[in-house]
Amino acid sequence: MGGMGDFSLLPSLVVFAGVIAALVVGASLLRRRSRRLGRPVPGRLTRSTGDALQGGGAPVRLPVDELVKRASIQLVQMDDALREAVDEVEFTRAEFGEAAAIEFAEALDTARRRASEAFALRQRLDDSVPDTEQQQRDWSKRILSLSDSALALVTAQSRSIQERRRDETSAPDALARTRAAIAAGRARLPEARATLSELADAYASTAIAPVAGAADEVEQAFDAAERDVTAAEAALSASTLAPAARQAQQAEAAVRRAQARLDAVERMRQTLRDARVARETALSAAGVQRTEAAHLRDSVEDPAAAERITAASAALEAAVDTARARTAADPVADVDALAAAAGRLDDTLAIARTAQQRLDSARSALVGAIAIAESHIRTADDAIAAGRGRVGPDARTRLAAARHELDLARQEADPVAALDGARRAATRATDADALARYDTLGLGR
């Protein structure tokens, strides 16, 4: 029997060996299928998930700090690409017409929306509210995804325009166009310098800081563009097959930067003029707002609300004094400061008005509430008197509580609290009346 027991294990061993062989074959087939399906290359970073891939294709969970860092880097690259794309769209429109720029502009709008969401998520990572590690990980992955897609949109459009430019524009034509643009831009320089000098005399340095040194930057950009054009023309004159496209593109980019700065100088003059008008309007509005604040502060019944109005009004007054005391004008800064102080005061006044309206509403309703409570108390009193000895202590206790609540309501200085007390008195009296009638009918026995 012992021998038979040993041989009885053979079927089980055969089955077990067969299972092992099947598993080995299945694993081999799965590996081959994965290679055919193009499984990600080991060690590559997947931006959509923000995780790296190890040798077997399994994701390696990155530390959250590394993930946040990668998201920040990608966010900066995306933002730079969008800024360059704005100029590229305008240049495309000027070079090839409105129809050619439509698709690029639409792609840029979509990319901007994605960038806006990505920056909003980045702001959530940077704000003062503590975030869990999982939130930081999820938001960083989303930033990577949004940045990648926005970058891909503008990159694809830029490549398309570059290809069209190579197809439609020869280097000599591009260089001639760029040289003409340089000449036109240099013709604008004297006016720009005169404008900057005028603005420097009329405004504080902080007011014109965005365009400070713009004329020198423009001249340097035109000089660089002219050097590139000259070098490219010389190369083409030596050989029509000379590679001049790179220098032509550099020159065009420099011209675009210079033109943008010249436009900024022209806009700054109008911006500051508009800010002067807005400043006077804000100063006048501040006077009206402070007068309104003083009236509300004197009439409001809540001491804390009055203190808040006083503090916010003082802050607005300080902003007004600062604006009026400037020896060198900075109307943009004045408008910003006045708007911020006026906004805080307006919020404070709105809260105070709401509180006062609540008090006024309660005061109006209080007269009726007291009358109702008095009526219910009289009704309950009559019911108890009619029942005499048949009415138990519960009804009498409710009536006493109702009278006490009504006395407190009459003495309460806060109309909101008084209104609540009068309503409680009416409820107590109603309960007393119901209990008295219940006892009188003998239902409580």
279 inside domain? no
Question: Cα separation of 254 and 393, whole Å?
Answer: 97
Question: Cβ atoms within 10 A of the Cβ of 295, count?
Answer: 9
Shared-domain flag, residues 108 and 178: no
Q: Are residues 235 and 145 in the same domain?
A: no
Whether pTM exceeds 0.85: no
Report yes or no on 280 lying in a domain: no
* Same domain assignment for residues 194 and 135: no
Higher pLDDT, 400 or 299: 400
Token readout for 207 is: 């007011």
Q: What is the pLDDT of residue 400?
A: 93
Q: Specify whether 389 is located in the same domain as 434.
A: yes
Residue 46 forms part of a structural domain? no
CB 215 within 8 A of CB 193: yes
Q: What is the predicted pLDDT for the residue at 169? A: 53
Counted domains in the chain:
4
What values do phi and psi take at 53, rounded to 5?
A: -110, 130
Q: Which domain does 408 fall in, by range?
A: 358-440
pLDDT at 262: 93
DSSP one-letter string for 260-277: HHHHHHHHHHHHHHHHHH
pLDDT per position as a tens digit, 43-91: 344 444 555 544 444 445 788 889 889 988 988 998 999 988 988 888 8
Q: In whole angstroms, what is the distance from residue 307 CA to residue 74 CA?
A: 48
Q: What is the mean pLDDT of residues 228-234?
A: 86
Q: Which residue has the higher pLDDT, 174 or 31?
A: 174
Domain contains 5:
no
**Which distant-in-sequence residues (6+ apart) come within 8 Å of 298 by Cβ?**
none
Decide if pLDDT at 157 tops 80.
yes
Please name which of 77, 72, 51 lies closest in space to residue 62, comparing C-alpha atoms.
51
If one compares 6 and 229, the residue with the highest pLDDT of the two is 229
Give yes or no: residues 258 and 346 share one domain: no
Domain boundary among 352, 384, 399: 352
**DSSP code, position 59:** E
Q: What is the CA radius of gyration of the chain?
A: 40
> Does residue 268 register a pLDDT over 80?
yes
Q: What is the pLDDT of residue 5?
A: 42
Q: Taking a C-beta distance cutoff of 8 angstroms, is the pair 218, 262 a contact?
A: yes
Phi-psi region of 35 (alpha: psi -120 to 50; beta: other; left: phi over 0): alpha
The residue written with tokens 């007269």 in the block is 367
d(C-alpha 35, C-alpha 265), whole Å: 59
pLDDT at residue 444, as a whole number: 53
CA distance 300 to 356: 6
Closest CA to 107 of 119, 115, 95, 97: 115
Higher pLDDT, 155 or 9: 155
In which order are the strands placed within the sheet that holds 51-53?
45-46, 51-53, 59-60
Asked if the model's pLDDT at residue 314 lies above 90, the reply is: yes
Instruction: Return the H-helix or E-strand segment holding 45.
Output: strand 45-46
Return the minimum-mean-pLDDT range out of 59-68, 224-233, 281-290, 323-332.
59-68
| Encoded tokens for 123 | 């702001």
Say if residue 175's pLDDT is above 80.
yes
Q: How far is CA 97 from CA 101, 108, 178, 229, 436, in A?
A: 7, 17, 17, 24, 92
Last residue of one domain, picked from the residues 159, 186, 215: 159
303 and 337 together in one domain:
yes
Average pLDDT, the chain: 81
Q: How far is CA 435 from the centre of its chain?
A: 60
Residues 426 and 395 in one domain: yes
Q: How far apart are CA 142 and CA 124, in angstroms?
A: 12
**pLDDT digits over 355-381, tens only?**
777 777 788 888 888 989 899 899 988
Asked, for residue 117, whether it belongs to a domain, the answer is: yes
- Same-domain status, 369 and 342: no
Amino acid at 47: R
Q: What is the identity of the amino acid at 238?
A: A
Long-range (24+ apart) CB contacts under 8 A made by 38-44 are: none
Q: What is the mean pLDDT of residues 107-116?
A: 92
> pLDDT exceeding 70 applies to what percent of the chain?
82
**pLDDT reading at 119 higher than 80:** yes
Can you state the percent helix, strand and coil of the chain, rounding each to 5?
85, 0, 15
With beta carbons less than 8 A apart as the criterion, state whether 109 and 66 touch. no
Query: For the CA atoms of 367, 368, 370, 376, what is the dihedral angle to 10 degrees?
Result: 160
